[in-house]
Amino acid sequence: MVGESLKGIEDQVVKLREKINYHNHKYHTLDSPEIKDSEFDALFEELKSLEARNPNLITDDSPTQRMGSIPLESFSQVRHERPMLSLDNAFTEKDLEDFENRVRKNISGNSFPTFVGEPKIDGVAVSLIYQEGRLSRAATRGDGLIGEDITKNVRTIGTVPLALLGSDFPLTIEIRGEIYIPIPEFENMNLALRKLGKKEFANPRNAAAGSLRQLDPSETAKRPLKFFAYSADYQDQNEMPSEHSKVLEDLDHWGVRTNPLRKILTGSSACSVYYDRLALERPELTYEIDGVVFKVNSLSLQKKMGFLSRAPRWAIAKKFPAEEAVTYIQAVKFQVGRTGALTPVAQLEPIKVGGVTIRNASLHNMDEVRRLRIRIGDAVLVQRAGDVIPKVKKRIIGQSKAQTQEIELPLKCPVCGGNIIRDSGLVVARCLSGWNCTAQKKERIRHFSSRLAMDIRGLGNKIISQLVDENHVVRISDLYSLDHKTLSCLDRLGSKSATNILLALEKSKMTTFSRFIFALGIPDVGESTAKELCLFFGNLENLAKANEEALLQVPDVGMVIASNVRQFFDHQDNFDVVMELLDLGVTWDEEISREYKPLEGQVIVITGTLENYSRQELKEKLELLGATVSGSVSKGTSMVIVGESPGSKLKRARDLGVKIFSEIDLKDFLEEYRV
């Protein structure tokens, strides 16, 4: 009897979950509820009560678990099985025609290719993995290869099903899409913040990104997040339909929300008509879109066309033109950057541009201010284009306020009070305080810690600000003297996060010469210039003592960069910091000289998950040896490096007879060439 009773309760729980999931789908995805809120609440309370009395029946995919997670200390990293790539852009109808012609080269006959067009949601790209119909993992896009595990936060979003409907779904499926905040809810969020005197969100996308990175899932649950799916990948490729449009229909069938405005289109002319239609409908939409995405509908044709290193060849995005509005400049403040450069920022009378309220816009530099001939109190045309910071495009003549005021460069640094210099012939004005300026110090540490520099994971902007404001970090080298007690005492930083940062600091000590030089933040020395300098001089000693004449021999190095490099190493404080970093254990293998390129002309593809290298790290090592690293296997591929779960690239390499290297082979190979 007891067994039968427990079985009866379990059946009741399963049926309640099915009912709640069904009504959640009708409410959140189809926007057509069938029952009253009070009836839904009664079902939900009944399920909660049964689970409370029978906790052994609680599962992760139960509707009651959307807000049941304890706060996280940090986000763990996730390596995507397939890279989450960017899209190439089309700006004109000719670009769309060229895209169509590239597609037609891969199909027989003179038929026009079929595309699927859909709005390009201006949100946060995420990957959702369902196993046996249950949401098992959610991750951000990150850098396209590695994202962050945000599963607990995504479970709180009503439009993301915790369990797929029906039973005919694949055993494992990855669903990709965008998480966003609707415009009306975004405005309500900012109104509430304004009433509390708190800083408002810049736009819905930033608000969505910040919401997904809350360490406490219950905070994420308070945010009005929604989800649209735009693609899926079935683990068993044989189960996939033949067309992308059919994949989206499958998702609809399983209760996953897809965009209802998508449309199947034949030829670039139909794509242009669809784009124009969405541009007209855009102001009436309740969510932000910044363009239209067109994808080849045939999945076999997608596979045939393949990928470039950063984007699929079978898809393209056509962005909408920049949006503009007229408002007034109320004041101008000056921001201080990493190199001491002062940037004037216009504080505007709040104005809506494309559904987003704009309050600040960049004026770039004082030459731009003079060119535009603008003053405080002038009416100006403000332009916003996608993710680009809003900028003042021009002054509106005849609409200024009665009293206007000239915009003047401050005599002293607005942050530290230090001296400002603007050399004749140079556009930029700079604060000369260097490390004594708090603003420059924070920006230099942010740059030093960034992914393409020393790659110190977990050292975010808020943590850096606290470390500087509380004098824990006075010089960059102080980062490597931080201890667990200091870090764990920072605001909202737990013991585990402190440990992770210390591990990241220790890991960052083993770097490359070019990353280290880039991390130092020498003005105008970007990632590629740092590589050229390191390849040319080979070691730090040679670079540090090189005169301007020697520096000018480096490809792409002109008078300004040569002067900046020489000035950097001539400054005693800079040289001392470099020596301190080396004494604290920062090290690298010597760079291979420019002339030594054993892999010159070789095309190498990396596939699968590598145990001992990140993709970026390995790419850098191979490029040092002269190789070109590609994202797709072709007849011209020289070698494929294979990690775990390599996917279709390995089969393609075997079919073409391309040389295949395991990670063990690779290690021996790199050691032979000292990289």
Active-site option among 120, 152, 226, 295? 120
Q: How far apart are CA 675 and CA 642, in angstroms?
A: 19
> Can you tell me whether residue 502 is helix, strand or coil?
helix
Q: In 428-465, which positions are buried (b, 16+ CB within 10 angstroms) versus exposed (e)? A: bbbbebbeebbbbbbbbbbbbbeebbbbbbbbeeebbe
Number of Cα atoms under 13 Å in the Cβ half of residue 26: 13
Longest dimension (CA), the chain: 93
Nearest partner of 479 among 452, 527, 512, 447, judged by Cα: 447
Token pair 């930029």 in the structure block, residue = 428
Query: What is the chain's Cα-based Rg?
Result: 28
Tokens of 574: 């800079």
Strand-by-strand arrangement of the 639-642 sheet: 628-630, 603-607, 639-642, 659-661
CA distances from 140 to 65, 78, 147, 172, 226 (A): 21, 9, 5, 19, 15
For 204, counting Cβ atoms within 10 Å of its Cβ (0-12 exposed, 13-18 middle, 19+ buried), the class is buried
Q: In 514-547, which positions are buried (b, 16+ CB within 10 angstroms) versus exposed (e)? A: bbbbbbbbbbebeeebbbbbbbbbbebeebbebe
Q: Is 441 in the active site? A: no
The rounded Cα 657 to chain-centroid distance in angstroms is 36
- The residues, any chain, with a CB within 8 Å of residue 360's CB and separated by 6 or more, are 345, 346, 347, 348, 390
- Sign, Cα dihedral of 240, 245, 247, 252: negative
Tokens of 533: 């300098």
Q: In 271-301, which positions are buried (b, 16+ CB within 10 angstroms) versus exposed (e)? A: bbebbeebeeebeeeebbbbbbbbbbbbbeb
Q: How far apart are CA 430 and CA 418, in angstroms?
A: 10
Q: How far apart are CA 26 and CA 21, in angstroms?
A: 9
Q: Running DSSP on this structure, what letter comes out for residue 383?
A: E
Q: How far apart are CA 400 and CA 329, in angstroms?
A: 9
Give the Cβ contact number of residue 66 at 10 Å.
19
> Can you tell me whether residue 41 is helix, strand or coil?
helix
639-642 vs 659-661, strand pairing mode: parallel
Tokens of 472: 């824990």
Return the active site residues: 120
